[in-house]
């Protein structure tokens, strides 16, 4: 009975680890977006000419202040998404650590019985 329970917990642990990896990949994608937005904001601040924005398949001239607001807004949204992912990651890591502790305890107790 305990052996089956241990196997189930190990499977849960593997799923948690996979979920953590998925969150880390999403987080990396969002961090890349932050870098791109920061680079765009830097270039926008340096630019003395016109500013352009890509909408779908076309590029249109736009007001620099409007574009800056748009980029700042996108950065804020992506930052919030990263914080949310970090919170989820921490919760999963805590759950995984607890589960790992339980599995190791069960394995140790099974070994002590022999």
Q: How confident is the model at residue 47 (pLDDT cuts 50, 70, 90)?
A: confident
pLDDT tens by residue, 49-103: 889 899 999 999 999 999 999 999 999 999 999 999 999 999 999 999 999 999 8
Q: Per-domain residue ranges for the chain?
A: 2-113
Q: At what angle do helices 2-46 and 64-113 cross, to 10 degrees?
A: 160
Q: Where are the beta strands (DSSP E) in the chain?
A: 51-55, 58-62
CA 59-63-68 angle, 5° bins:
95
Q: What's the CATH number for 2-113?
A: 1.10.287.370
């Amino acid at each position: 009975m305990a052996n089956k329970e241990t196997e189930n917990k190990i499977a849960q642990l593997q799923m948690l680890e996979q979920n953590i990896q998925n969150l880390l990949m999403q987080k990396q994608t969002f961090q890349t977006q932050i870098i791109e937005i920061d680079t765009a904001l830097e270039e926008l601040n340096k630019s003395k000419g016109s500013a352009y924005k890509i909408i779908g398949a076309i590029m249109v001239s736009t007001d620099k202040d409007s574009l800056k607001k748009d980029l700042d807004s996108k950065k804020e949204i992506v930052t919030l998404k990263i914080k949310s992912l970090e919170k989820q990651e921490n919760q999963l890591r805590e759950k995984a650590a607890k589960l790992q502790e339980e599995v190791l305890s069960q394995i140790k107790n099974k070994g002590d019985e022999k």
